[in-house]
Amino acid sequence: MTHTPTRDALGRWVAGERIMPLPSYASASAPAISFEFFPPKTPALEAQLWACAERLATLRPSFVSVTYGAGGSTQERTHATVLRLVRETTLVPAAHLTCVGASRDEVDEVARRYWDAGVKHIVALRGDPPGREPYAPHPDGYAFAADLVAGLKRVADFEITVAAYPEVHPQAATPEADLDNLKRKLDEGATRAITQVFFDNAVFLRFLDKAVAAGITAPIVPGIMPVSNFAQAAKFCAGCGTSVPGWMADLFEGLDDDVETRRMVAAATTAEQVRILQANGIDEFHFYTLNRPDLVYAIARILGVKPAA
């Protein structure tokens, strides 16, 4: 992916300025998109998920992924959701698999079950233990995501997606070590990386520059999360190392009880974020849907993605 962000005469990034002007709607081509769902915990949430899947399926995403809970706590629900997507929809599902809390044999068996069921795409992650416990590899398991990628490739010729962290994984020793880890995952056979959510486009574009300089050539897809509940999003971001710009807090200030205005602000800010990325050559986006389709559907339309005829 190429981009031409704004720099000053010394080649430094210029803060606070739009990176590139927005393209006209007539000239912008529709990007590839994908969506992330989470497995439902209750019958009501299950109905919400399938309504979300049905609505977003009309946009013909490249794939949809289904997450795991911490410590693999939703493994069975994830598996059931993925298999139902295969059986009952035209969507192409990608199943999340993690290292945490499982032996290699157990992980390999889950992978084989997916392959035999027709699921050929895995999102391979190290995963986090439940609660605030520090991560420790399972004594008989895959230690880290790069090891998991290599193991999955031995099981079958999966398409594999991994995670990338524009603002550095919270447990990485250094930014350089984090980038080296991403390169190892890709070198082991992953075909793309999807980023942790971010809100500052300059952070993402700087990260792309560093990745290219480190010899990474695989696509790095921005992970985009429309924010309509700011307090909830800020809490989530504090736990995963994503910075929340001050201007974002200002935009949502005083809107706790005004759901409709929050939704309009969320649509406007996310649409601007993805359009600026699109202006800088980004041609693929992954949306964290939170199983709520309306905002994501509207933003996809703004990007030029139309429903199937």
Say if strands 223-224 and 284-288 run parallel, antiparallel, or are unpaired: parallel
Q: List residues with catalytic annotation.
A: 36
Nearest to 271 by CA among 307, 236, 309, 297: 297
Distances, alpha carbon 83 to alpha carbons 151, 163, 203, 280, in Å: 22, 23, 36, 37
How far is Cα 142 from Cα 133, in angstroms, rounded to an integer? 18
Say if strands 93-98 and 32-37 run parallel, antiparallel, or are unpaired: unpaired
| DSSP-assigned letters across all residues of 116-175 | HTT--EEEEE----STTPPP---TTS--SHHHHHHHHHHH---EEEEEE-TT--TT-SSH
How far is Cα 215 from Cα 203, in angstroms, rounded to an integer? 19
Residue 279 · residue 27 · CB < 8 Å: no
How far is Cα 14 from Cα 21, in angstroms, rounded to an integer? 14
> Hey, is 7 helix, strand or coil?
strand
Residue 255 · residue 262 · CB < 8 Å: yes
How far is Cα 197 from Cα 200, in angstroms, rounded to an integer? 10
